[in-house]
A and B are shown apart, each in its own frame.
Chain A
Amino acid sequence: MKKILQLTMLLVLAGAAGCNDDKFLNKEPLSDLTTDEVFSSSPQVFSILANLYNRQVDIATVKSWMTMADFSESFVSDNGADQVAILRRTSWNYDSWNSWDYAYIRDINLFMERAEKATVLSEADKTRFLAEARFLRANYYFELVKRMGGVPLILKTLVYDYSGSAEYLQFPRAKEHEVYDFVISEAEAIKSLLPTDANQKGRATKAAALAMEARAALYAASIAKYGSSNTPQVTLPGNEVGIPASMAAGYYAKALTAAKEIISGSAGAYSLYNKKPNDLQENFASIFYDKGNNPESIWVEDFQLKTVKVHNFTIANQPRFGAEEEEGGRINPSLNLVQAFEKIDNTFAPIPVKDASGNPIYYDKQIDAFAGRDARLGGTVILPGSSFKLRPVDIWAGYQLPNGNILSGDDRGSQRPLPDGTTAQVVGFDGPIVGKEHTAQTGFYIRKYLDPAIGSGSRGTQSELPYIRYRYAEVLLNAAEAAFETGNVAEAAGYMNQVRARAGLVTPLKAADITFDRIVHERRVELAFEGHLLNDMKRWRLAHVVWDGERLTEAELLANIGKANKKSTQPYSLLPYKIYNPGQPNHNKWIYKVAISNLVTGSNRFRLGNYYSFINDDIRSRNPKIVRQPNQD
């Protein structure tokens, strides 16, 4: 018996010793692709490029509504601690808006080096992929220079040699203008390698490269011009921050040339969106939701339903009453922004609330208070008395009784007894109610980037509206600013009037009307909630003037509308009230009151140290060659 066991054991052991062979043990991994495999076919290379596209960063994006909600352009209807902090804080941290994603830059560099060597790619594919990678890298360096000033320009992958000292991998910050120069020269180099195709929105095109170039040159020019005159202390001795004033003219000229190349049509057939000329407000809103052959958008971050690439901007910001989900109404545009939209006759005026003798103005319909204004107002903001998805919003703060008292409620659509004994709804289902999140606490909801498609407001579906990074109207405004700054005001007026005519401001501005105030104003209203405001105020060196930390009084709010240096430190509200006075002519008419929520306890203060974001201590301790930002001690 024992022998049989021993023999069996021997046999089993012999079997186990078999087939020891390289082929058996060296298995290719099933879950990962090797570099060679990935670069063995064009679609696979493209999928890596898609990952690189996906990692671009934006200062404001539809992926996170809070990134759009700051700077007193809106009130946040959210009681979460982080959100309320926007209303309570008195200054921004020095590290606000910082970015330092060199892992991303390394991945782009790595992609370029490997794609260069790949043998299976067709020459056309390879050229386009490499040009796109260069575009993404330049655009991210542009993003970095906006936030951080000069940063180390790393254009190839760096490899550690395990020698014990990493000093040879430490690079100092480039000068600020060197980074802008890099962005501009890359755009020039790749524009002819990229396709000329106005229908290509998600991938880089010639127009995208030129739009990036125009904006970058304009930023560099204005930093050179206004940095030296307004904020001479926001510089570093090595020019890592700050651009010499003498370079301004050259950059303005480059910006104008690049913008003109798009305007001339040589980069594709782009034009202002004008498919709905009979409803200019809807037409303006459509720029952001019309995905079919939109001639205005140049480069977008695209989203698609039924994939993981969708966003919840509509869910977060839809009018709360009758919304597809039990949420919405987060971003409430402030009166500061609403009243900045000028009247049809090209003049600025507050929303008419009181007549000359100080008595309230009674409106038959809520929307009448906003009549005769720039169509972009209704295209950017959901006003009281307007509709979204064919449903009228219900925004009113309460009844005003004959004795002047206010009758209101503390919940959406509250019911209370009226003086005549009947019980009725005394506040809108969309608010405004102080401290009630999701309601329109300033009296307004945001409309820009809201998706009118059915299901866009439900969590199971979400929205596929693209986030527009570059669009034609901004190119025109860039051209207008560059032309204005180089003394060619007539040309500037021509570009600006195109944008304004689309918004219903059909009386053209004359050359003499174009002032710096006009340039600043036009960008603020055309590009509201598109991530431009902070960068614009920074490059004009107006941020510390507009957000000076002092409380904003009602008189200051209503004066000097349309002035570039008008301060805007706290978001104001405009609350509609219904008149209760049965038998009197004003019964059920509407009045408006300018107010500020008592949740707004802070006032925005932009310190000189905020012009360039803080570079974290760990970054500077790993690389002592990185110099600190100015004014942050």
Chain B
Amino acid sequence: MKMKISYIMMAVLLTASFISCKKDNYAPPQSMFSGRLVYKGEPINVEVNQVPFQFFQFGFGKVGAINSTFDQDGKFSALLFDGDYKLTVPANQGPFLWKRTANGSQDSIAVKMAGSQSLDVEITPYYMIRNAVFTAADNKVTGTFNLEKVVTDVNAKNIERANLYINKTQFVSAGDYNIASAQLTAAQITSMTGITMTVGIPAISPTQNYIFARVGLKLAGVEDMIFSPVQRINF
């Protein structure tokens, strides 16, 4: 009998250890805030992981922002707790003009989270890349596109260079995300329409019969490039 009591005690203790501390935990954030960068309804393409945005939550938690970056097609998403937030892009980031307040600092968008929602953020890019068409022939990719200067006031920027990037995966930009690129300097871009660039396709291992391509435009004095949509090309 004595043995039995101790067994029961141990069983009770063991069970107790499995059901502890339920009350301490918060439910995880469940409201999805998503959207994309658009200019007059057209998506803005940027470099992946390079253009940041920030959420600030009112009256809760620590001082500081929730930092994240836009996807390469300009989409963004964040899983948030319900509450009041402000969304902004830090100064001098992105190939576009973000709205400013009267004293010159970056403006913000008030976001009230109560369940999931999506929002297209309207911004003004310095330039737009229009009608980008890519074709592959003779182991080369040729891209043709037009440029449109959107910002023409005092904030206007000059073109520094344009690059045609190709990559074997769907992420296409400078740095790690290209296997080959071609470049036109500002002096070589004489017309804003029918700009053509060609880049050779290097050997890809393991072999694949498709690549992804897009063109990027670098502006003087702006760190981030603006891109055309990624296109998959079979060859």
Contacts and interface: CB of A to CB of B under 8 A. Distances in A.
A115 to B, nearest CB: 42
Contacts of B52: 633
A200 interface: no
B206 interface: no
Nearest to A624: B63
B181 interface: yes
A603 B176 CA distance: 8
B144 interface: no
A605 B175 contact: yes
Interface string A534-558: 0000000000100001110000000
Interface string A608-633: 10000000000000000000001101
Interface string A75-102: 0000000000000001100000000000
Contacts of B231: none
Interface stretch (B32-40, B72-80, B87-95): B87-95
A233 interface: yes
B151 interface: no
Nearest to B176: A90
A631 B176 CA distance: 21
B97 interface: no
Interface in B62-76: 65, 67
A232 interface: yes
B146 interface: no
B92 A549 contact: no
Contact of B223 (A550, A551, A602, A607): A607
A544 B174 contact: no
A20 B178 CA distance: 82
Nearest to A609: B223
Contact of B181 (A233, A550, A630): A550
A91 B90 CA distance: 20
Interface string A215-253: 000000000000000011100000000000000000000
Nearest to B63: A624
Centre residue among B67, B178, B223 by max chain A CB count within 10 A: B223
A605 B174 contact: yes
A551 B67 contact: no
B198 interface: no
Given A602-B176, A605-B175, A633-B54, A551 B181 contact: yes
Size band of the interface chain B makes with A:
10 to 19
A520 B90 CA distance: 33
A98 to B, nearest CB: 19
Interface string B193-230: 00000000000000000000000000001010000000
Interface in B111-162: none
A91 B52 CA distance: 16
B167 interface: no
A107 to B, nearest CB: 32
A233 B91 contact: yes
Nearest to A229: B221
Interface in B27-53: 52
B183 interface: yes
Contacts of B54: 633
B63 to A, nearest CB: 8
Contacts of B163: 550
B200 to A, nearest CB: 11
A633 B174 contact: no
A633 B175 contact: no
B91 A630 contact: yes
Given A550-B181, A633-B67, A233 B174 contact: no
Given A544-B223, A551-B181, A608-B223, A631 B174 contact: no
Contacts of B65: 633
A24 B148 CA distance: 91
A549 B223 contact: no
B92 A608 contact: yes
Contacts of A602: 175-176
A231 B92 CA distance: 11
13 contacts: A90-B174, A91-B175, A231-B221, A232-B221, A233-B221, A233-B223, A602-B176, A603-B175, A605-B174, A633-B52, A633-B67, A633-B90, A633-B93
Interface of A: 90-91, 231-233, 544, 549-551, 602-603, 605, 607-608, 630-631, 633
Given A549-B174, A630-B92, A631-B93, 18 more contacts: A90-B175, A90-B176, A233-B92, A549-B175, A550-B174, A550-B181, A551-B178, A551-B181, A602-B175, A603-B175, A607-B223, A608-B223, A630-B91, A631-B92, A633-B54, A633-B65, A633-B90, A633-B93
